[in-house]
Amino acid sequence: MRIALPNKGRLAEGVRTLFERAGLDLRFRGDRALQASFGEGRTALFVRSADIPEFVANGAADLGITGRDLVEEVGRDVTTLLELGFGQCRLGLAVRNDDPAQRVEELPDGVKVATSFVNLTRRYFEANGKSAEIVPVGGAAEVTPLLGVADAIVDVVDTGSTLRMNGLREIGSLLDSAAVLVANPATLADPERGRQLSDFAGTLESVLRARGKRYLMANVPRAALAEIRRILPGINGPTIVNVLDDTEIVAAHAVVNRGEVDRVIAELKAVGAAGILVTPIERLMP
């Protein structure tokens, strides 16, 4: 199995963190290697994020992790298996601060728009009944209005600070984006190889489910079980385990949201719980 991963940029750090949490150690073949193994028969290929949809579509890689914006821009035939929840951003339309336009419909026909997202920009203007002259750029689109190369830009926006630094303001959003796991449709359709891809996607999904969750265990009075079930709904309700030699005390186990841990502990103590233990969760399967 081969998976194409970003070699740098806004998604690369998130991918490495996800792999570490999944216990997938990338073993590089050299200091400057563009490939790494991560388990028997698994190879990671490190390439530009923008090239990953093409690598997956043409079969050079079975899987890939890249931004939804790049998948939509390329328009190649790949199957999205999983939304990964990191690398959140949006593709925004911005103009100079002194431009009177407040939305795309107020821009003049033939407006010059600098972007590396040529296809998405063209479709966006067409959908809004406007014509635009697209100025393709490989990067640093935000400087083009200052240089008189373009009147507006379409670019990735995170906090908006880069726009503000360059005297620009956002007047429209093309789409919201985040990291996605995509697969080659032909590989996915093969029974054996498709199962391998689905199993790998399940591994990553189990890590994503565990984010923001904690596993809580406590010794509680049997007489308070009705209250315990209210306090600890868990995924399918708390798991209750008898404690040996003491029929009046049982152990309650449950998965709780990280932000609710303090409240849950306080409520458990109020009904007589003791020996409360909270631990992180590495993976969570449905």
**Domains of the chain with bracketed CATH:** 2-87+178-209 (3.40.190.10), 89-177 (3.40.190.10), 213-280 (3.30.70.120)
The average pLDDT across 109-117 equals: 96
Q: Which of 38-42, 59-63, 64-68 has the lowest mean pLDDT?
A: 38-42
pTM score: 0.86
Residue 246 pLDDT greater than 70, yes or no: no
The percentage of residues in the chain with a pLDDT greater than 70, rounded to a whole number, is: 96
The average pLDDT across 255-267 equals: 94
The radius of gyration of the chain from alpha carbons, rounded to an integer in Å, stands at 25
Collapsed DSSP state (helix, strand, coil) of residue 260: helix
Confidence class for position 41, pLDDT limits 50, 70, 90: confident
The span from the CA of 231 to the CA of 135, in Å, is 58
- Which pLDDT belongs to residue 285? 83
167 token code pair? 């005297």
The average pLDDT across 53-65 equals: 97
Collapsed DSSP state (helix, strand, coil) of residue 104: helix
Is residue 262 within 8 Å of residue 188, measured between CB atoms? Answer: no
Q: Please, where are the H alpha helices in the chain? A: 12-21, 52-57, 68-74, 118-127, 144-147, 161-165, 185-189, 191-210, 225-231, 261-270
Residue 31 pLDDT greater than 60, yes or no: no
Cα within 13 Å of Cα(99), Cβ side: 23
Across all residues in the chain, what is the average pLDDT? Answer: 92
The span from the CA of 238 to the CA of 216, in Å, is 10
